[in-house]
Amino acid sequence: MVTLYQNKVIDQLRHVLGKKEHMVSITIRMEQIDPLAFFSAGETLFYGQRFYWSDCLHERTFVGLGRAQVIKSNEKTKKRFRDVEREWKQIVEGAFIEGQGPLMFGGFAFDPLKQSDEHWIEFPSAQFVVPTFLLTKQRDEIWLTVNVVHESLNQIEEMIDSLFHTRDESDSHRAHIVKKEEVARDQWLRSVHYATDLIRNDAIEKVVLARKLFLSFSERIDRSHVLHELHEQQPMSYIFAFENGSTCFIGASPEQLVRKNGHMCETACLAGSIRRGHTVKEDEELGRWLLQDDKNRREHAFVVDMIKQAMNEVCTEVVIPNEPTLLKMRHIQHLYTPVQAKVKEGVSIFSLVERLHPTPALGGFPKEKAVQTIREIEPLDRGWYAAPIGWVDANGNGEFAVAIRSALLEDNKAHLFAGCGIVAHSDPHNEYEETNVKFKPMLLALEGEQR
Ligand SMILES: C=C(O[C@@H]1C=C(C(=O)O)C=C[C@H]1O)C(=O)O
Ligand SMILES: [Mg+2]
C-alpha cells in the first residue's frame, strides 16, 4: 500500500523534475493516515522542521515536514507583512504545480521592537515555511503534497521510505515536571497596578499584560504527545506547533484572527473571561454574570469597536451582532462576537492580518500606545505569543489564529504565557487568577493529564 503511493509520487516527480521552474509541487490523494502519526513519523528525519495545525472546527489539519522554501523577515515595522506577501507571490508564480499547489505556514512576532529574549532567538519578526512534505486532511480526505526545489529523486524516495515505514516508537517514560516557577510575579502585579493608574489618568484605555510560567522537566518533552493531549483536552481550539531548530512554539488557542476564502472573510472578537463552573448551575450563573459584568463588557467593547472600524475600511457587508454570546472552552468562558464580511477587491489576507494585529484583545486601545506600554512595563518578551500564526495557500486563501494559550518548548524546558485585558476597574489579584486559568490548557497538556 505504502509502496503504491511512493511509486505514484516518484513517478509524477520523475516527469516534472528538472523543469525550469524554481519549485515543483505535486499533490496526490492518500489512504487514511492519522495526521499526528505523520507528525511523529517525521521525528527522526525532520526534528526541528515540523509544523502542525488544525482549526477549531476540525475542517482542516496540516502537517508539514522539512523545508522546501523559507520566507523570513527581520523587519521591525509593518513592512514585514508585505515582505512575506511579496515573497510568497514570487514562489507561487515560479512554481510548477500539479494538484492543489503549495501552502506556507508560519507566523509573526507580537512586537519586533521589544528587546528580544534569548529563548526566542530562532523566531524572527516573520517566518513562513513551505514544507517538503505537506499532509492535508480536509473533511475526510487526505492529500500529500511534495514540494521539491533541490532534492534529487533518490533523496525524496529515501525520505518517503523513512516516513511511511517508521513504527510508532513513543517511549513509555514520560517527562515529568521537576521545577515550576512563576516568572516576575510581583513585578507583573505591580505592572497591572501601574496600568490601572495610567487608565485612570486617561493616558490609555485598555492594555493587555502577560506573564510567564517556567517549567523544567525530567527529560525531553515529547512534542507529539503534547499535541495529542491538546487535541484530546481542547477539541474546540486551534491546535498549532511550529518547530524552529531546537525550539518549538505550541498551543491551543480559542481565538481566530482572520480567515479568508475568496471574497469572504471572518474574524472574531474574544475578550472578557470567567472560569467554568463545577456544576451546570454554577457554570450558567458564571456565564450570566460575565454577560452583564461592566468590567468585562468594557474589555470586550474595545475589541468590537476596533475590529468593526478596521473591517469597514477594507470590506463591505460587515455583519456583527449587537450583543456578545458566550464561548465556553474546557476551563474558561469568554465573551464572543463573531464577524463576517466581504473583502474589497485586491485586499489580501496579509493586509487583513496587518490591519488587525494586535486587536485590543491582545494589545489594548489605542493600539500604538498600548503596544508601547506593553513594551515598557510588561516583564517579558512575548516573541510569537499573542501574535498571528497560520497558513496561506497558493490562491491567497488562509487562516490565522491568535497564538495564545501557548508555550515555547526547549529540550526539557517550557515557557508558558498568559495575559489579560486591563481596564479601569481591573483588580490585580483577580487578573492574576484569570491568568492562572489561562495557563491551564498548556499546563495540563504538558502534565499529560486526562481530566
Ligand atoms: C491574552 C490572553 O487572552 C485574551 C484576553 C482575554 C481577557 O482578558 O479576558 C480573553 C481572551 C483573549 O483575547 C491569553 O490567553 O493569554
Ligand atoms: Mg479579561
- pLDDT category, 166, cuts 50, 70, 90? low
Nearest atom in ligand 1 to the alpha carbon of residue 303 is: 13
Examine the pLDDT at 188 and tell me if it is beyond 70. Answer: yes
> Best of 110, 196, 207, 208 to mutate for ligand 1, by most ligand atoms within 8 A of CB?
208
Residue 246 · residue 123 · CB < 8 Å: no
- For 119-164, the DSSP string reads GGTT--SEEEEE-SEEEEEETTEEEEEEEESS--HHHHHHHHHHHH
Separation of CA 141 from chain center: 23
Coil, helix or strand at residue 426 = coil
Q: What is the mean pLDDT of the chain?
A: 94
Question: What's the pLDDT score for residue 451?
Answer: 41
Residue nearest to atom 1 of ligand 1 (CA): 419
State how far the Cα of 179 lies from the Cα of 156, in Å rounded to an integer.
42
Examine the pLDDT at 401 and tell me if it is beyond 90. Answer: yes
- Could you give all domains of the chain from N- to C-terminal order, each with its CATH number? 2-165 (3.60.120.10), 177-447 (3.60.120.10)
My answer on whether omega of the bond before 102 falls inside 30° of 0, hence cis, is no
Q: Integer distance in angstroms from the first to the last C-alpha of the chain? A: 37
CA of 194 to the centre of ligand 1 (A): 19
Examine the pLDDT at 2 and tell me if it is beyond 60. Answer: no
State how far the Cα of 441 lies from the Cα of 451, in Å rounded to an integer.
11
Range 292-296 average pLDDT: 97
Question: What's the pLDDT score for residue 32?
Answer: 85
State how far the Cα of 4 lies from the Cα of 182, in Å rounded to an integer.
52
Residue nearest to atom 5 of ligand 1 (CA): 420
Beta strands (DSSP E) in 174-314 are: 177-183, 206-217, 238-244, 247-253, 256-261, 264-275
Residues within a 6 A CB radius of ligand 1: 208, 210, 255, 270-273, 299, 334, 361-362, 386, 404-405, 418-421, 438
pTM of the model: 0.96
Range 72-79 average pLDDT: 95
Residue 210 · residue 380 · CB < 8 Å: yes
* Angle of helix 349-356 versus helix 79-94 axis, rounded to 10: 160
* Angle of helix 2-16 versus helix 153-165 axis, rounded to 10: 160
**C-alpha cell belonging to residue 376:** 515598557
Range 293-308 average pLDDT: 97
Residue nearest to atom 6 of ligand 1 (CA): 271
Higher pLDDT, 2 or 194: 194
Examine the pLDDT at 158 and tell me if it is beyond 60. Answer: yes
Question: What's the pLDDT score for residue 279?
Answer: 98
Examine the pLDDT at 181 and tell me if it is beyond 60. Answer: yes
- pLDDT category, 1, cuts 50, 70, 90? very low
Range 278-286 average pLDDT: 98
ipTM of model? 0.99
- pLDDT category, 322, cuts 50, 70, 90? very high
- The residues with which 267 forms a beta bridge, in sequence order, are 339
- pLDDT category, 46, cuts 50, 70, 90? very high
Residue 210 · residue 419 · CB < 8 Å: yes
Q: Is 122 annotated as a binding residue?
A: no
Examine the pLDDT at 8 and tell me if it is beyond 50. Answer: yes
- pLDDT category, 165, cuts 50, 70, 90? confident
Active-site residue set: 206, 255
CA of 190 to the centre of ligand 1 (A): 19
Q: Is 434 annotated as a binding residue?
A: yes
Range 276-301 average pLDDT: 98
Q: What sign results for the dihedral spanned by CA atoms 241, 260, 396, 135?
A: positive
Higher pLDDT, 6 or 63: 63
**C-alpha cell belonging to residue 201:** 489618568
Question: Which residues, including other chains, have CB under 8 Å from residue 159's CB and lie 6 or more apart?
Answer: 45, 66, 132, 133, 151
